[in-house]
Amino acid sequence: MRILYPFAQRFIAGEDRKTALKNIQSIYKSGYLSTVDVLGENVFTEAQASDARDEYLNLLKDSETLHFPLDLSVKLTSLGLNINYEICKKNVEDILNAAGQHTVRFDMEGSDCTERTVNLCLELHEPHNNLGLVLQSYLRRTEADVDRVIQNQISTRLCKGAYQEPADIAFQSMTEVRENFLKQARRLLKEGYLPAIATHDEVLIQTLLEFIKQESIPPQSFYFELLYGVRRDLQKILLDKGYRVRIYVPYGKAWLPYTLRRLAERKENILFVVKNLIRETFGMSKIH
């Protein structure tokens, strides 16, 4: 699968921590904040889960000299959720205890993890109010989860959702996913605590910009979040309008599942990979 690496490079900030931190610093110099994801998911041994936790701890140690706060995006299945809930909880607590000025956020994975992810967040938010969550507008249950994060004032990123989910639990049409995104985003913006609007969908962003203006929602009370390497033009437009923009910055060697999700999101991405594959296979490089 190394053949996909040229494509993956566009979406990841390096395979190692040092390179990622350099990128995070230059992102900050350009005016953006970062939420950092150590790539990896679905580990099956305790040792792998400890390695993932240690990478976050080392990242926090190496970030001590940064003059700005980071958000850490954490996938619970990389910390052992599918091995044992208690092992996963202990790994998360180690990260939360070391986080200091930084915030930690549970990425939302496939629907088999949703209930456990929400529950662990509710359980740990009480002693650790620097813990946040992600909710997906394609899930029918999200309206009820938004009630819970508003009630508990948990900082929540709202995204559409990146996994294949069945119709009984998830909206299948883009119209419904978008409608629910707008509905839940409006609620989070009005009543939530430091929500993040995570989309590159211009129709959604434009509609929410109008809502924000109409309701006089202060720019310091929420974030826009976009993925590293996606729609840099939009990132800049939002920044120039005076909004806080946070970039989702993944790094690490386990880039394949993340890259495959980005690949599936756009047919142009598949064409890019196919073109590179043909160029490489048939020696069609333009440089001779």
Ligand X SMILES: Cc1cc2nc3c(=O)[nH]c(=O)nc-3n(C[C@H](O)[C@H](O)[C@H](O)COP(=O)(O)OP(=O)(O)OC[C@H]3O[C@@H](n4cnc5c(N)ncnc54)[C@H](O)[C@@H]3O)c2cc1C
Catalytic residues: 107, 157
Site for ligand X in 244-263 (CB under 6 A): 248, 262
- 231 near ligand X, rule: CB under 6 A: yes
Say which DSSP state 170 is in: B
Which tokens belong to 176?
A: 């419904």
Contact, 14 vs 38, CB < 8 A?
no
- Output the smallest distance, CB 169 to ligand X, in A: 14
**Closest of 163, 117, 97, 111 to residue 140, by C-alpha:** 111
The interface mask with ligand X, positions 166-205, x = CB under 6 A, is --------------------------------xxxx----
The Cβ-side half-sphere exposure at 285, using a 13 Å CA radius, reads 4
Contact, 132 vs 157, CB < 8 A?
yes
Instruction: Out of 98, 150, 194, 230, name the contact with ligand X by CB under 6 A.
Output: 230
User: Hey, CA dihedral for 55, 61, 62, 68, is it positive or negative?
Assistant: positive
- 276 near ligand X, rule: CB under 6 A: no
- Output the smallest distance, CB 135 to ligand X, in A: 9
The interface mask with ligand X, positions 97-136, x = CB under 6 A, is ----------xx-------------------------x-x
Contact, 270 vs 247, CB < 8 A?
no
- 161 near ligand X, rule: CB under 6 A: yes
**Closest of 69, 61, 143 to residue 105, by C-alpha:** 69
List residues binding ligand X (CB under 6 A): 107-108, 134, 136, 157, 159-163, 198-201, 225-227, 230-231, 248, 262, 265-266, 269
